[in-house]
Amino acid sequence: MDVENVNQYIGKRIRNLRNRNGLTQQELADRTELTKGFISQLERGQVSASMVTLFDLIECLGTTPAEFFREEEEQIVFSENEYFEKIDEAGNSRQWIVPTAQKYQMEPLLVVLQPHAGLEEDKPHSGEEFGYLMSGRLNLYLGEKVYHVKAGESFYYPATQRHRITNPGSRPAKFLWISTPPEF
């Protein structure tokens, strides 16, 4: 394995462990006295960490060097107790239903938006996004256009323009949301 592949491997392992522990990059940076920028670059495989720094990160993430570098068998089925969930101040929930999706081409999430709430606007980026609304209603804003989505409908768009999703209804909206490439 060359240096670039080692950096990618270490970065993905750090990101997966950080996500499993429910930490933001800033929280991990604070615990290790590193910068958020360094953590971000490390997770993307753009920089290398010294052995001392790497072992400090591994310890802060609740594992050992032996566990960190152990090869894992490819997981195919994921159970609900493995999902990573983040709930914002408004009570909106995002569940990463494939916790290790960062190493794949797609990132599936199960999202619940509270009534009259919305997700923050995404700036244009490469990739595509797909959603399937299981219950409730959504407004999908793409650039200057608004699309109204009802339960049982799906949406698909290139993410090359500003976009955001809101719930205009009076009950929670639940939808499956898949993006490529993974953004978290």
Q: What is the pLDDT of residue 104?
A: 78
Q: Which amino acid is at 94?
A: R
Q: Residue 125: its pLDDT value, please?
A: 87
Report CA-CA distances (Å) from 30 to 24, 88, 131, 168, 173: 10, 21, 35, 38, 35
Confidence at residue 81, expressed as pLDDT on a 0 to 100 scale: 84
Q: Which two tokens stand for residue 26?
A: 């800033």
* Phi (first) and psi of residue 167, to 5 degrees: -110, 105
Distance, in Å, from the CA atom of 171 to the CA atom of 162, rounded to the nearest integer, reads 26
DSSP for residue 55: H
What's the rounded Cα separation, in Å, for the pair 15 and 42? 9
What pLDDT, on a 0 to 100 scale, did the predictor assign at position 19?
A: 87
Identify the H or E element spanning 29: helix 25-32
Domains and CATH numbers, the chain: 3-69 (1.10.260.40), 80-180 (2.60.120.10)
139 forms beta bridges with 148, 166
CB atoms within 10 A of CB 165: 25
Burial 54-84 (b: 16+ CB within 10 A, else e): bebbbebbebeeeebeeeeeeeeeeeeeeeb
Per-residue confidence of the chain (184 residues) as pLDDT tens digits? 566 778 888 998 899 889 888 889 999 999 999 999 999 999 998 999 999 999 999 999 988 888 888 876 677 888 888 888 889 999 999 998 987 777 778 889 999 999 999 998 888 888 999 999 999 999 999 999 999 999 999 999 999 999 999 999 999 999 999 998 876 5
**Contact at 8 Å (CB) between 148 and 137?**
yes
